[in-house]
Amino acid sequence: MRSGRRAAAEAQECLPLDLPPPEPAVPRPAARKAPPRAAPGDGDDVRIRLRNDALASHGWPAGTELLVSSDRRPRRGEVALVREGGRLRIGVLEVQFGRSALRTDHGATLLGAGARMVGVVTVAGAPLAGMPGPPAS
């Protein structure tokens, strides 16, 4: 509740209504987009380097460079490269519980519905002796 005496003692100013309209916003130039990168699976071969010893049983220790052919779809028992949730995963393609899975030396990972096959490993190059490997995890 307001007091009538206090409001009368203080003079309130009214806002001027004859202000000019605000200036229109100046559109900013659009940011330049980076040229699209060649995504794996566009018919080109993809080169990757293993970060860990997940495929050491195949003779591929950490640092091994792999050439993945994206021209053909992997079959059961082949080493496949898969993109799932923005990450690349590699392993031996197999079926577990009626679903596709990638098996490595660390265990098997079931693939979700969003997984996309990138290709099949066709060539493996051993890491060079004396070359620094990936950082220890």
Domain boundaries, the chain: 45-125
Contact call for residues 44 and 71 (beta carbons, < 8 A):
no
Using CA of residue 37, residue 39, residue 42, residue 46, what is the dihedral sign? positive
Residue with tokens 């460079």: 65
Its pTM surpasses 0.75: no
Separation CA 120–CA 58 (nearest Å): 15
With a cut of 60, say whether residue 7 has pLDDT above it. no
With a cut of 60, say whether residue 38 has pLDDT above it. no
* pLDDT tens digits, one per residue of 39-59: 554 567 888 888 888 888 888
Instruction: Give me the CATH topology for the region 45-125.
Output: Umud Fragment, subunit A (2.10.109)
